[in-house]
Amino acid sequence: MNLSIIIPLYNEEESLPELHEWIRRVVKENNLSYEIIFVDDGSSDNSWKVIEGIAGKDPNVKGIKFRRNYGKSAALNSGFDLAVGEVVITMDADLQDSPDEIPELYKMVHEEGYELVSGWKKKRHDPLGKKIPSRLFNLTTRRMSGIKLHDFNCGLKAYKNEVVKNIEVYGEMHRYIPVIAKWEGYKNIGEKIVKHRARKYGVTKFGMSRFIKGYLDLLTINFVSKFGKRPMHLFGTLGSLIFFLGFVIAAYLAYAKFFLEEYRMTERPLFYFGLLAMIIGTQLFVAGFLAEMISRTGSERNQYSVEKMIDKPKE
């Protein structure tokens, strides 16, 4: 199968029939075999009934319905598990992503060798209050990850099937999929300028809180990717440095007391800084040691992303 098209949605009953017909027309015009996977993220309207109706007419349509709203990351992760197409494309259900982009995205992955292609909504039909935070968010992510993309949060993306099977998306991390993919070893990441359409039905489902959660998740991804399997490298190093600083302060105060002048060490503010530094350093070191023990006994301690393998049978 050429394509798996994953569409997460929440309360989008008006747009689904039009979106389905548009996708079907585009893939048929380009002679692409396909499946469409609608993931209903706990909608409270008639979205699931609409999906059932579409699936009854089109055997290439699959559907997943959550009991409650878990978020876009959970919807995408469930769709990734189900996808069987050679190229996996994700897009939003609100008709702001154009299905006309599908053939070119498929070509970039299938023929040009990209492992992931992210859309760039260069001209956005969004209010200024949404554009400015988005630009700041993309700038920060670009600096921290080293990936030269302009629009990390664009819902329109294309992947090799192998990529979506080797990454896990949760929390608010759907906007960091290129970052997650890079740290799993997929470095051939491209970008394509895509058309962004004004919303035709309903209202946006995302508020300003997503930017706060997004930055926290970016810090989480940075930490997990760099120190998830070796936490002692971070906590142990910090703990040792802070403890050493506290020890130097205590040693200086002891030397000054016995060789330079008589005074009570507890009367010096520096004494409390040194004591605090040694306590914090010890706590960080112990935290790193415990985290290291937990990571070494975890079920995923030796799970790695394997690109190729030659396994010759024994003679």
CA dihedral 213, 214, 215, 220 (to 10 degrees): 90
Residue 293 has pLDDT above 90, yes or no: no
Taking a C-beta distance cutoff of 8 angstroms, is the pair 17, 49 a contact? no
**Mind listing the pLDDT tens digit for each residue in 75-91?**
999 999 999 999 999 99
The pTM of the full predicted model, rounded to 2 decimals, is 0.72
pLDDT bucket at 271, cuts 50 / 70 / 90: confident
Residues 43, 8: Cα–Cα separation, whole Å? 11
Mean of pLDDT over the chain: 84
Residue 264 confidence (pLDDT): 75
What's domain 3-227's superfamily in CATH?
Spore Coat Polysaccharide Biosynthesis Protein SpsA; Chain A (3.90.550.10)
Q: Output the pLDDT for position 138.
A: 81
- pLDDT tens track for 165-175: 998 887 778 88
- If one counts every other C-beta atom within 10 angstroms of the C-beta of residue 47, the result is 24
61-65 vs 116-120, strand pairing mode: unpaired
Q: Parallel, antiparallel, or unpaired for β 3-9 and 34-40?
A: parallel
Q: Where are the domains of the chain?
A: 3-227, 231-297
Does 237 or 118 have the greater pLDDT score? 118
- Most confident option among 20-29, 250-259, 270-279: 20-29
pLDDT at 312: 46
Residue labelled with tokens 């359409």? 197
For strands 157-160 and 87-90, give the pairing.
antiparallel
Mean pLDDT value of segment 147-153: 88
Q: How far apart are CA 150 and CA 238, in angstroms?
A: 34
**Average pLDDT over every residue of 171-198:** 87
Regarding predicted confidence, which is higher, 92 or 206?
92
Residue with tokens 């760099």: 226
Nearest to 145 by CA among 89, 91, 183: 183
Q: Where are the alpha helices (DSSP H) in 61-208?
A: 72-82, 102-110, 128-145, 161-165, 177-183
